[in-house]
């Protein structure tokens, strides 16, 4: 995407996935390395866009805030289940029963732990309102079989759904997703009447990308897991591009 910053208008707004997009995948969610330049660059880029920069992530809100401290950007967390808008107001999408989720997640966690015990390197991440099974580091390499997925499906209540990502399975509350999060941001300041740009790397990003493209926006895929109009090879290339964009005196 050499020279592509020239096509970004001054009235753009930017939506960024985190893992696999801004930062490289690591052995586990807590092992991700946030490069020293990332937070200052995002701060400068947000200022350049008058605050119209949002994180769209599967991480919990507290988790992404810790990763990007001291920044507290507009954020759709847990794939859109929880959203902090441009004014700082945090809402949980829909009317989920947190207590019901806790009951269901205990059963799901028991099943996840069986796989953890059988397959070294597999780990469970409790996100509060979501539960993820990471098998990137399974030794030997392992992925859940169709029968495993049937077992999980039998444990889901109507309020829960199963998401498949890059070497991760996640159970979350139904309701908001990355697409609905982007739509909500675009309906309110500081994102209103700006050209949207969405950057992601995984299948969970595709519905949001489709929405952005329908609205005449720009989509960028990181890596080779999904397709978009533009692509970059890895998070390092994206960070260089964003840094150049943040430094421009006139991004139009």
Of the listed 11, 17, 202, 250, which one is catalytic? 17
Per-residue confidence at 195, pLDDT binned at 50, 70, 90? very high
Q: How many domains does the chain have?
A: 2
Q: Is the dihedral of CA 164, 90, 245, 59 positive or negative?
A: negative
Same domain, yes or no: 102 and 67:
no
Report yes or no: 21 and 242 within 8 Å, Cβ to Cβ.
no
Same domain, yes or no: 181 and 85:
yes
Q: Residue 221: inside a domain, yes or no? A: yes
Same domain, yes or no: 163 and 195:
no
pLDDT digits (tens, 9 = 90+) for 24-42: 988 777 889 999 999 999 9
Same domain, yes or no: 33 and 46:
yes
**CA 239 to chain CA centroid, nearest Å:** 16
**Among 147, 173, 199, residue at a domain's last position:** 173
Same domain, yes or no: 118 and 89:
no
Taking Cα atoms as reference points, which of 153, 105, 110 lies closest to residue 128?
A: 105
Counting Cβ atoms within 10 Å, is residue 103 exposed (0-12), middle (13-18) or buried (19+)? exposed
pLDDT of residue 250: 45
pLDDT of residue 97: 67
Residue 249 has pLDDT above 80, yes or no: no
CA distance 80 to 207: 12
Per-residue confidence at 83, pLDDT binned at 50, 70, 90? very high
Radius of gyration of the chain (CA): 18
- Tell me, what CATH number does 210's domain have? 3.40.50.1000
Residue 61 has pLDDT above 90, yes or no: yes
Same domain, yes or no: 157 and 58:
no
pLDDT digits (tens, 9 = 90+) for 133-147: 988 888 888 888 888
* Active-site residue, 17 included: yes
Same domain, yes or no: 204 and 161:
no
Same domain, yes or no: 152 and 42:
no
Q: Residue 252: inside a domain, yes or no? A: no
- Domain, as residue range, for 132: 98-173
Same domain, yes or no: 32 and 77:
yes
């Amino acid at each position: 995407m050499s020279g592509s910053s020239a096509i970004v208008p001054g009235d753009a707004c930017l939506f960024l996935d985190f893992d696999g997009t801004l930062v490289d995948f690591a052995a586990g969610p807590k092992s991700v390395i946030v490069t020293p330049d990332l937070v200052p660059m995002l701060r400068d880029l947000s200022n350049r866009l008058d605050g119209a920069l949002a994180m769209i992530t599967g991480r919990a809100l507290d988790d992404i805030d810790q990763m990007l401290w001291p920044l507290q950007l507009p954020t759709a967390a847990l794939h859109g289940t929880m959203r902090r808008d441009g004014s700082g107001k945090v809402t949980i999408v829909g009317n989920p029963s947190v207590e019901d989720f806790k009951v269901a997640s205990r059963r799901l966690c028991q099943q996840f732990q069986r796989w953890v015990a059988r397959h070294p390197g597999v780990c469970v991440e409790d996100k509060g309102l979501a539960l993820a099974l990471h098998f990137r580091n399974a030794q030997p390499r392992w992925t859940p079989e169709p029968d495993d997925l049937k077992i999980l499906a039998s444990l889901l209540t109507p309020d829960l759904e199963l998401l498949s990502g890059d070497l991760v399975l996640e159970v979350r509350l139904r309701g908001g997703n990355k697409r609905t999060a982007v739509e909500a941001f675009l309906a309110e300041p500081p994102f209103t009447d700006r050209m949207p740009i969405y950057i992601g790397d995984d299948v969970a990003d595709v519905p949001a990308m489709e929405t952005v493209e329908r609205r005449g926006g720009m989509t960028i895929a990181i890596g080779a897991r999904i397709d978009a109009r533009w692509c970059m090879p890895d998070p390092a290339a994206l960070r260089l591009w964003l840094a150049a964009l943040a430094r421009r005196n006139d991004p139009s």
